[in-house]
Amino acid sequence: MKILAIETSCDETAVAILEATGNLENPKFTVLGDSLYSQAHLHAEYGGVYPTLAKREHAKNLIPLLKTALQEAGLFEENPTELSEKTNKILEREPELLGQFIQIVSKMKIPDIDAIAVTQGPGLAPALWVGLNFAKALSINWNKSLIPINHMEGHVLSPLFKKGTKIKFPAISLLISGGHTQLVHVKDWFDYEIIGETKDDAVGEAFDKVARMLDLPYPGGPEISKLADIARSKELETDKSLPRPMKHSGDLNFSFSGLKTAVLYRVSGKKLDGIKKAKIAREFEDAVVDVLTSKTSEAIKQTKAKTLILGGGVIANKEIRKHMQILAHDLKIQLLMPEMKLATDNAIMIGIAGYMRFLDEKISPENIEGLKADGNLRL
């Protein structure tokens, strides 16, 4: 079947079209069309994602991205379609999107797709609403079933993109990005429990904030990581005095704000040269890796997990990946990681989750119009 997938939970606007076949044990995915616009550079000056701006950008870019994805998939044809009267009501809160919808979608032939999967939550509510309302409008006008997807499930299932991947249950998923830090106990297909999460900043957010203290550009994660690598390769002497917040808290939760504050004390009022910055970057990264691996290890032991699944933009971090590889090897469990393009927010993972839900028949919302976005949706 062909699935159109839409993702707008944060600062990436993404539309993808997947061809999906096979069953739960052996799904196969081919990307027919994929278009993504990252707003990250627009939010850079705010030091984080600015919800109103994100919503406006999603509304502006969704239809051009849809058109590009359909064209790439060879599914775009011009042919007038009469729009449903419900369109105005569904898109009344998104006037710019409604304007483009009336102008562009009304001239498109209904594409040969079977279902639409869309992120329902969690994320920034205004951003989620734009994507969901857009998906509802398409679903009603094109008479296609709509599959609401939990964004975190998208991250968990993203490694399935690689052919032959098998998740051995139970699994532990460590999801780390600019917006989330979670340990998810994946007991079986679609059976999740969040067993650990951050009490304050997300890991990526901590990287970004520490980078700002060191006058490094946004997003700061890759910059910190580069400097930390330099400190390691030059074998610069570092001390281990930065805290490992909640490492011994006895639960699986995280906290990164204390670590960030400790770095702030270390740097404030000092002139930092490249060497000093590299040392601090390494000390910070080491502290993060230490906490992440110890909590993940504990989660695996507690749940007797057979698979460790990593997801989120922070898995681009080499040191974190290296230590997760060592951990999985030591505990003799399978490690699954999506390719980087699927680790950061994207629509392909939403399509993958949509197909798995379709196979499990956990879809078909009876009331498409009444479907609500939920910024705090839990797995």
Chain contacts with ligand KG4 (rule: CB under 6 A): 10-11, 177-179, 204-205, 207-208, 219-222, 225, 312-314, 316-317, 344-345
Q: Which does 11 bind (CB under 5 to 8 A by kind): Zn ion, ligand KG4, none?
A: ligand KG4
In angstroms, rounded to a whole number, what is the distance separating the alpha carbons of residues 301 and 298? 5
Task: CB nearer to ligand KG4: give 111 or 221.
Answer: 221
Task: CB nearer to Zn ion: give 286 or 345.
Answer: 345
Rule CB under 5 A: say whether 11 interacts with Zn ion. Answer: no
How many residues would you count in the chain?
379
Task: CB nearer to ligand KG4: give 215 or 251.
Answer: 215
Task: CB nearer to ligand KG4: give 252 or 349.
Answer: 349
In angstroms, rounded to a whole number, what is the distance separating the alpha carbons of residues 72 and 65? 11
Minimum distance, C-beta of residue 210 to Zn ion, in the bound complex (Å): 21
Which residue, 272, 291, 292, 276, is CA-closest to 238?
A: 276
Minimum distance, C-beta of residue 137 to ligand KG4, in the bound complex (Å): 25
Q: Which does 159 bind (CB under 5 to 8 A by kind): Zn ion, ligand KG4, none?
A: none
Task: CB nearer to ligand KG4: give 11 or 57.
Answer: 11
Minimum distance, C-beta of residue 28 to ligand KG4, in the bound complex (Å): 25
Torsion sign (Cα): 28, 328, 303, 290 = negative
**Strands, E, within the chain: which ranges?**
2-7, 12-23, 26-38, 115-121, 145-150, 171-176, 181-188, 191-197, 307-311, 334-336
Minimum distance, C-beta of residue 340 to ligand KG4, in the bound complex (Å): 9
The gap from C-alpha 69 to its chain's centroid, in whole angstroms, comes to 20
CB 8 within 8 A of CB 128: yes
Residues contacting Zn ion: total by CB under 5 A: 2
In angstroms, rounded to a whole number, what is the distance separating the alpha carbons of residues 270 and 98? 52
DSSP 312: S
Q: Which of 73, 345, 350, 351 binds Zn ion (CB under 5 A)?
A: 345
Residues at the interface with Zn ion (CB under 5 A): 177, 345
